[in-house]
Amino acid sequence: MEVPAEQQPPLLPMEPPQPPPLQPVEPAQPPPQPLGFNISAFYLLLISFSLFYILVGRHSPPRPQLFVNFWGKELSNGFVSHVVKALEDAGVNVSIDSNELKGRDAETLFKRIDNSIIALVIFSDRFSESEWCLNEVVRMDKRVKDSKLRVIPVFYRVSTYDVKNFKGKFGSAFEETVQKQSPEVTNMAEHWMSSVKSVSSKAGLTSEVHSIDSSLVDAIVEDVKRQLPDMLTGNKLSILEELFFALVLAALGKFVAPLLFDDTSFFETPQWFVGVSLLVLVHRRYF
């Protein structure tokens, strides 16, 4: 049954819907930045160390490693000059008597011996003419007995028997040297004889075996190589220096790579620098 219109309740006005309350908006947080490889800072560090190394690190004088004891101008201008050149070409720091300025006292020369770790005593017929050479042999013998020096005797055109027993021209020259000494220092003859016998008894090289001078020079260099620890430390870089320059070389790859490759991003990654360093270690170990 329908209700008459006049009897229907009046319609109430509808309220507009209320918007939901506004929530406070938090500021957007930037995404976390991954820990990257700061290549610019690395280059700056390398350049700084390079400048420091060039200005300071390589200017300290190298430590003498091998002292050459000999007598005679003819040896200085001939055989000994070839020995010194061959050793220096092999990277050995060589100190010889002729490097000393005239007028220096014996202690100055002895310091060269004390700073060396190996000595080359080149005996010849005229060796015992020199009081200086004999005193040097005494000093060397003392350091050998203190385990602070190694000696390689070389018998250049002189018999090993004559040197060890003071015979022949070597013995005659020694007697003349002793006779020139004042009575106060004649006891030095005993020290000279004892030290010469001690040094000449070490394993050495002779012209009797190596009759050609060039062969004897080669044998000396090879013997020095066997006895010197960390051979060529005067010229050879240490492992830290090699690694340092390997990193510098790797850094230079950033500037060279664009000339060869389109994508050079790899040359700015840690993997590139680690790889170059490993190659240096492998080369040092096996070559």
Phi, psi of 136 (to 5 degrees): -65, -40
Distance CA 201, CA 203 (A): 7
Distance CA 193, CA 164 (A): 9
**What is the C-alpha radius of gyration for the chain, rounded to an integer number of angstroms?**
40
Strands (E), the chain: 66-69, 94-96, 118-123, 150-155, 205-206
Distance CA 126, CA 156 (A): 11
Q: What letters, b where the CB count within 10 A reaches 16 and e where it falls short, cover 2-39?
A: eeeeeeeeeeeeeeeeeeeeeeeeeeeeeeeeeeeeee
| CA dist list (Å): 229 to 92, 150, 244 | 11, 11, 23
Distance CA 270, CA 287 (A): 25
Residues in contact with 161: Cβ distance below 8 Å, sequence separation at least 6, in sequence order: 167
Q: What letters, b where the CB count within 10 A reaches 16 and e where it falls short, cover 110-137?
A: bebbeebbbbbbbbbbbbbbbbebbbbb
Amino acid, res. 205: L
* 136 given a catalytic annotation: yes
94 within 8 A of 123, measured Cβ to Cβ: no
- Residue matched to tokens 């991003």: 265
Task: Name the DSSP class of 156.
Answer: -
Among candidate residues 136, 175, 184, 268, the one labeled active-site is 136
Would you please indicate which residues are annotated as catalytic (active-site) residues?
A: 136
